[in-house]
Amino acid sequence: MKKSSFFQNMNINIDLAVEAHDLLRGETGREVAGVVMEKETLPEATVTKITITNKNGEKKLGRPKGNYITIEAPTIKDNNFQEHRKITEILARYLANLINFKEDTSILIIGLGNWQATPDALGPKVVEKVIVTRHLFYYTPEEMQGKMRKVSAISPGVLGLTGIETAEIIRGLVEHVQPDYVIAIDSLAAGALERIGTTIQLADTGINPGSGIGNHRKGLNEETLGCKVIAIGVPTVVNAAVIAHKTIEELLSQIESEPTLAKIYDSENEQILLGVMERALSPFRNNLMVTPKEVDDLIERSSRIIANSLNLCIHPGISTNNLELYQQ
């Protein structure tokens, strides 16, 4: 069974545009019409930009037209301050390319997710670390000019905690604050184990909170909020069915390479093996999500990188050399 068909049958969503693109291109063996891919290899990271240019690209990749930038950096998982500093600068540079900054540009940062569930706490953790300045412009406007921009931030919680749709809360805030940009940070679901805690995705098309784990909430985008929405996400979980499918793939690959095992296997048995996997997962079907036991460290490191990149990108007066002074 094709992996795309498996994902569809198990109702597994792919949050990362680069995974959706690689999956589709790998199965068809050709480029996807309406989609342009550019890749840059840096010493600290691999950056892939997926641009969906028309309706065909939207249909094929299952997401709206726009830019999706994926930064893959395995050292995010490591406790390495110097590497994290370099990744922060890379993220800040690509984030700046998605925003048309002016001196008076105002930003509303939204930390999506549930602060009571560690794998879903990325957004709230970022909000804790960003430098908020909107209130300061009312008290020391002259000192702020040219050095800082207006930034406000909030973690609105999730429907299960507040009883209010996240989109409803944010729409009310946008109407009152009237930012030029909304930047939404959320945890994502990966389509491969190796991407957990090692990948950051930027998108200028908005976000659908909870889509990766099947909790479809109202979208946050320019159409619903009336201003441009930038989304930042890091995969923190993977569906258990993805792990089971990878195990089956490895088993079949091993069988095909071993003559003694190949005698007991033919291609018709693939459906039987997939059926076994589905029955093993049947108590939860596609609702069993898996995260590493060190997810608290991954969230802490990822949130620090994202928050610092936002601080560097948004405020002209902040650099990597003086960032710590503003965080005191």
Which tens digits make up the pLDDT trace of 48-60?
Answer: 999 999 999 999 8
pLDDT at 212: 45
Higher pLDDT, 286 or 56: 56
Rounded distance, CA 227 to CA 76, Å? 31
Whole-angstrom distance, CA of residue 18 vs CA of residue 52 = 11
pLDDT value, residue 259? 63
Q: What is the pLDDT of residue 26?
A: 74
The more confidently predicted of residues 232 and 168 is: 232
DSSP secondary structure string for all residues of 222-235: HHHHSSEEEEEEEE
Query: What is the b/e burial string over 213-250, where b = at least 16 CB atoms within 10 angstroms of the residue's CB?
Result: beeebebbbbeebeebbbbbbbbbbbbbbbbbbeebee
Q: How close are the terminal C-alpha atoms of the chain, in Å? A: 55
Query: Can you list the domains of the chain with their CATH numbers?
Result: 3-242+285-326 (3.40.50.1450)
Rg of the chain on CA atoms, in Å: 21
- CA–CA distance, 291 with 312 (Å, rounded to integer): 30
**Could you tell me the pTM of the whole model?**
0.88
Tokens at 223, concatenated:
């159409």
For residue 303, with 0-12 CB atoms within 10 Å meaning exposed, 13-18 middle and 19 or more buried, which class applies?
buried
Task: Give the pLDDT of residue 25.
Answer: 82
Beta strands in the chain (DSSP E): 35-41, 46-52, 66-72, 106-111, 150-154, 181-190, 199-203, 228-239, 289-290
- Whether pLDDT at 128 is above 90: yes
